Amino acid sequence: MTTYLVPAGDGEAEFTEKHSRFIGRVWRTDTEEEAIEKIRETREKHRDATHNVYAYIIRGNNITRYSDDGEPSGTSGMPTLNVFASENIKNVCCVVTRYFGGTLLGAGGLVRAYSKAAKMALDAAGISQMAEWRRFRIFCDYGFYDRAKRLLEDFEAVTQNTDFGTGVDIEALVREDRSEAFSLKLTDVSNGRIEVEDAGCAFLGVRIR
């Protein structure tokens, strides 16, 4: 089964380092054309910026690109790209805009600043896992809720909704490759006293952080 990580949405973050202003932006871009358009839009918006450093990774055709945009070689584009490559994020585009504040940061300072801006923007965007997910509805008495909750955590399920009424009604997504084992384990730990309804399977992105 194919699974991969992508940005959960758009993200933006900003900070100042020795009077230089750094603005990091992250988008999910499924094609290289989308990434190039985001870079163009950002350059147009920040035409007065000193640098608009970019990096993008597109899963289709295994495309990876970056640019230092005038910063010393290896101090900005590659560190920006490494933020996403190190976490195995695909279909992502990032632009870090810098307004120079008059104080040189040095090579190490630039690497840290661009990495920080990219990481802050990714944290703001969040991360989703693209995978085949099976949706379950779980009905149980309150006495079995803690067991069900622990099992969901053990299987790295994503709980979408929990309704506390006369009993507990949980809607959760479990990776398809773990779904059968999850269902069997849930039945086993409750001696069949937890009701599980299979609501179908779909390939989609689910936010995991």
Q: What are 76-116's pLDDT values in tens digits?
A: 999 999 999 999 999 999 999 999 999 999 999 999 999 99
Which one of 109, 125, 141 terminates a domain? 125
Q: Report pLDDT for 2.
A: 83
Residue 75 has pLDDT above 70, yes or no: yes
Domain of residue 188, CATH code: 3.30.70.240
Residue 22: partners with Cβ closer than 8 Å, 6 or more residues away? 14, 15, 16, 96, 97, 98, 113, 114, 116, 117
Within this chain, do residues 29 and 108 fall inside the same structural domain, yes or no? yes
Q: Report pLDDT for 74.
A: 95
Within this chain, do residues 137 and 154 fall inside the same structural domain, yes or no? yes
- What's the residue count for the chain? 209
Query: Edge to edge, what strands does the sheet with 92-99 contain?
Result: 11-17, 20-28, 92-99, 51-58, 63-67
Q: Report pLDDT for 105.
A: 96
Nearest to 124 by CA among 51, 209, 54, 46: 209
Within this chain, do residues 31 and 14 fall inside the same structural domain, yes or no? yes
Residues 192, 1: Cα–Cα separation, whole Å? 29
Q: Which residues pair with 135 in a beta bridge?
A: 173
Which one of 93, 125, 157 terminates a domain? 125
Within this chain, do residues 155 and 119 fall inside the same structural domain, yes or no? no
Within this chain, do residues 20 and 105 fall inside the same structural domain, yes or no? yes
State mean pLDDT over 120-145.
Answer: 95
Q: Report pLDDT for 152.
A: 94
Number of domains forming the structure of the chain: 2
For residue 112, what are the domain limits?
Answer: 4-125
Within this chain, do residues 106 and 152 fall inside the same structural domain, yes or no? no
- The reported pTM is 0.85
**Mean pLDDT score of the chain, rounded to an integer?**
95
Which one of 125, 154, 181 terminates a domain? 125
Tokens representing 70 are 């005038």
